[in-house]
With several copies, the nearest count.
Chain A
Amino acid sequence: MIRVQREDFDVGVELERLAAGNHRIGGLSSFIGLVRDMGGEERVSALTLEHYPGMTEKKLGEMETEAHRRWPLDAVLIIHRYGRLEPGDRIVLVATASPHREAALAACQFLIDWLKTDAPFWKSEETPAGERWVESRAEDEAARRRWKLCP
């Protein structure tokens, strides 16, 4: 399941719901991305996430489908927020459930790696020196390449 929203989410409720009633699930892996108070050397007082409505849902849906194709998963959840967020706020939740831990763990890592390079979100940070757009990281491209995805 895919959700793109301004509002915060309740991690406990979301993870509970993901596995509820499905006793085939043996492993539930999750990753939560949070707003940090530092961006490089600069103190960050807030972050604004812009996205491309329509394409965001499409790309996240493709990622969900590809994860199901690669691993035996019982459930996938991606929630990504947009709008203005402050340090400590949740940005993203990726969760995967499978009979076996290996599949859940690998799929969760795959999804967050792919999401970092391909989900159309952009961050701008509020710093003492003014507002600035976050630059993409070469490490994120390297992490994506691990999964042998088409360009």
Chain B
Amino acid sequence: MKLLYFAWLRARIGCAEEELDLPPEIREVAGLLDWLQSRGGRYAEALRDLSVVRVAVNQNYVGLEHPVREGDEVAIFPPVTGG
């Protein structure tokens, strides 16, 4: 699975992109975010308040219950502020 981070989430985690071997017990976005938080350190801090975290799977906005699979592109970022 490819993980992408943008804006202050990228800056706080200190990483724009990483490859992840998805642990088999993770089936949904919520589980993925829990698992990333459980890494601690910068991850735990960046993902502390999920109300300001948005997720896209394969470039579509999704909710916490959306499934994630090996091979997905999962992007994690704050609410957008373009335009």
Chain A residues near B (Cβ < 8 Å): 33, 49-52, 54-55, 58-59, 80, 91-92, 101, 112, 115-124, 133-136, 151
Contact = CB atoms under 8 A, between A and B. Distances in A.
Q: How large is the interface on B (under 10, 10 to 19, 20 to 34, 35 or more residues)?
A: 10 to 19
B6 interface: yes
Contacts of A101: 83
B61 A122 contact: no
Contact of A123 (B4, B59, B81): B81
A118 B7 contact: no
A55 B75 contact: yes
Contacts of A54: 59
Given A55-B75, A120-B77, A122-B77, A50 B83 contact: no
B79 A133 contact: no
Contacts of A50: 6-7, 10
Contact of B82 (A58, A123, A133): A123
